[in-house]
């Protein structure tokens, strides 16, 4: 049975890290990962349970060769902002090095990779319910002619493909490599969808200040 994808991204209240993801930490759908510092993109998402949320992905900085991504969610399950330090595509758990969230008392909490792994190993309910991606993320690709879509007052020339997964679930996808960090403009898979609302540059970190590390006994 398909699990709910959009219970809420991460609520910074307490440690109720209810992450929407097929990976343990991050939302997942067909994409072309290409982070560009300062770039942001905003999407409307509808999952298989017809829940709706708006997600904004922002590339807000770097730490050595690694990238800080902030994800802000607003939807039926609540709202919040989470920062991820990643060494590559964040939908691969191995690339998630740390997570930061703002606590109700104003403290900035940081959970490093070792603590994330410990929480998972101990069966902590910090990661919400498991969820499947929106549409297949890999599969047989069928190409269609390019299309131009209108987004936020801009015309985007998009590659248009169909992705057919191993279970015959399929999605139609429109991509443009200029849209960072995921290159996705539109995805339709049955009643599920990911649709770009707007995009731009000038993204800055919002989760600033001294981070307090989470410790697990």
CA 186 – CA 174 distance, rounded (Å): 5
Indicate whether 76 pLDDT > 70.
no
- pLDDT at residue 51 in the model: 82
Task: Give residue 124's pLDDT.
Answer: 52
Task: Give the confidence band of 13 by pLDDT, cuts at 50, 70, 90.
Answer: very low
Q: What is the pLDDT of residue 7?
A: 31
**How does pLDDT run across 174-206, given as a tens digit for each residue?**
999 999 999 999 999 999 999 999 999 999 999
| Cα–Cα distance for residue pair 126/21, rounded to 1 Å | 13
What pLDDT sits at residue 22? Answer: 40
**CB atoms < 10 A from the CB of 101, how many?**
24
Q: What is the mean pLDDT of residues 75-96?
A: 87
What average pLDDT does the structure give for the chain? 84
State mean pLDDT over 88-104.
Answer: 91
Both tokens of residue 194? 């990911």
């Amino acid at each position: 049975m398909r699990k709910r994808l959009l219970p809420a991204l991460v609520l910074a209240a307490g440690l109720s890290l209810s992450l929407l993801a097929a990976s343990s930490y991050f939302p997942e759908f067909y994409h072309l990962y290409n982070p560009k510092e300062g770039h942001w993109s905003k999407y409307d998402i509808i999952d298989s349970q017809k829940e709706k949320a708006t997600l904004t992905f922002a590339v807000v900085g770097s730490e050595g060769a690694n990238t800080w991504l902030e994800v802000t969610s607003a939807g039926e399950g609540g709202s919040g902002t989470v920062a991820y330090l990643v060494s590559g595509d964040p939908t691969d758990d191995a690339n998630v090095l740390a997570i930061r969230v703002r606590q109700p008392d104003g403290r900035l909490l940081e959970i490093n990779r070792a603590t994330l792994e410990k929480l998972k190993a101990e069966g902590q309910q910090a990661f919400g319910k498991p969820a499947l991606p929106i549409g297949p993320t890999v599969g047989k690709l069928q190409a269609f002619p390019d299309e131009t879509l209108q987004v936020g007052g801009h015309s985007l020339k998009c590659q248009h493909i169909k992705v057919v997964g191993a279970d015959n679930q399929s999605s139609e996808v429109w991509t443009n490599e200029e849209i960072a960090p995921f290159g996705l403009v539109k995805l339709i898979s049955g009643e599920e969808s990911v649709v770009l609302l707007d995009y731009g540059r000038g993204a800055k970190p919002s989760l600033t200040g001294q981070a307090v590390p989470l410790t697990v006994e």
